[in-house]
């Protein structure tokens, strides 16, 4: 069975591919452009055998513990992907994270120079904590605690950017890595599969939230199965709607369609009579022009939506 492992983290934080792939991403002529819509930023991909295969877990065991006929697993294949729009976004995030790191480092330096923190061990712990919180940026800087030559009681912090490490991250911005456990297929096909998985995950997140099915706290198997069934059913419904719209030239996302349609809803009209009865009418509101256009594409008869009328007696109406 083929497995597709995604080494790609969300855009909420700045996270480029591992630095060890800097040289592979820097080879621009090895990337090819994949098909896409004109309104999307260009995406380039490259497929290669992993030049840095993971070390076996039993490498520290004695040679006698290893089976003589053990067959080595085939090397993983990688699909390197880079997107221009993502590169700009990650560069902005890196700049923002770096600014925050230097700002906190400057505040710590003031505390050290003014003598509010004198214990070197405590200062090093604070530096380590700061570096841990900004792990990707801190490796591009050297931070040292130095003692003033004129007075041993005076200390100061000094830091300097490592230009080589900082520039080494530039080729990685806007990139992500797909890892495959078998060969075969073109990089364009694997990238298309990845985008399909991303769309599926986005669909599940959107519809499970809309249906109130997240998070999943079910502990009985039958309830879990029902939860998954409703989610998959909603996912197919969502993509049926989107594909119908796309076939008509409407390429807007599900979130946009949902925001446009959510303003139309059923309303309740109460009509009291002289006889003491109350007519409770439930009917759909009048859709806007943008909503009518969507309904026309989906062939939804919004003019014949069902209407419900309930007659309430005088006692019930008074209670209401």
For residues 175 and 60, the model is more confident at 175
- In tens, the pLDDT along 5-33 reads 444 333 333 445 677 777 788 788 888 88
Give the Cα separation of 107 and 116 in Å (integer): 12
Strand 32-33 to strand 278-284: parallel, antiparallel, or no bridges (unpaired)? unpaired
Nearest Cα to Cα of residue 279 among 316, 231, 226 = 316
* Amino acid 12: pLDDT: 32
Say if residue 61's pLDDT is above 90: no
pLDDT, average across residues 94-108:
89
- In tens, the pLDDT along 32-58 reads 888 665 566 778 888 888 887 766 554
- In tens, the pLDDT along 163-180 reads 777 776 777 787 878 887
What count of other Cβ atoms lies within 10 Å of the Cβ of residue 317? 17
Which has the minimum average pLDDT: 196-200, 233-237, 276-280?
Answer: 196-200
Give the residue extent of every domain in the chain.
1-56+70-194, 211-260, 263-319
The average confidence (pLDDT) of the chain is 77
Residue 316 binned pLDDT confidence (cut-offs 50, 70, 90): low
Degrees, nearest 5: CA angle 196-22-92: 70
């Amino acid at each position: 069975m083929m497995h597709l492992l995604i080494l790609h983290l969300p855009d909420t934080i700045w996270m480029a591919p591992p630095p060890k792939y800097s040289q592979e991403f820097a080879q621009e002529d090895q990337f090819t452009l994949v098909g896409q819509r004109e309104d999307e930023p260009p995406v380039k991909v490259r497929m290669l055998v992993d030049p840095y295969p993971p070390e076996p877990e039993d490498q520290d065991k004695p040679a006698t513990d290893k089976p003589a006929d053990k067959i080595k697993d085939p090397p993983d294949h990688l699909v390197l992907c880079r997107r221009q729009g993502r590169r700009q976004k990650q560069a902005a995030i890196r700049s923002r994270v770096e600014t925050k790191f230097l700002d906190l480092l400057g505040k710590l330096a003031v505390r050290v120079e003014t003598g509010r923190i004198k214990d070197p061990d405590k200062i090093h712990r604070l530096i380590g904590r700061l570096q841990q919180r900004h792990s990707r940026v801190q490796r591009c800087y050297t931070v040292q605690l130095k003692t003033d030559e004129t007075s041993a009681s005076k200390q100061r912090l000094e830091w300097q950017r490592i230009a080589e490490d900082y520039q080494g991250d530039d080729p990685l911005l806007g990139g992500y890595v797909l890892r495959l456990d078998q060969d075969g297929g073109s990089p364009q096909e694997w990238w298309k599969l990845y985008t399909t998985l991303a769309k599926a995950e986005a669909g599940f997140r959107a519809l499970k939230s809309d249906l109130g099915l997240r998070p999943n706290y079910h502990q009985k198997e039958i309830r879990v199965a029902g939860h998954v069934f409703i989610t998959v059913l909603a996912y197919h419904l969502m993509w049926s709607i989107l594909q119908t719209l796309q076939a008509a030239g409407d390429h807007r996302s599900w979130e946009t369609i949902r925001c446009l349609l959510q303003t139309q809803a059923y309303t309740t009209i109460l009509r009291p009579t002289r006889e003491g009865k109350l007519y409770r009418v439930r009917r759909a509101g009048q859709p806007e022009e943008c909503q009518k256009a969507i309904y026309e594409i989906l062939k939804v008869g919004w003019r014949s939506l069902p209407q419900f009328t309930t007659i309430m007696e005088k006692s019930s109406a008074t209670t209401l």
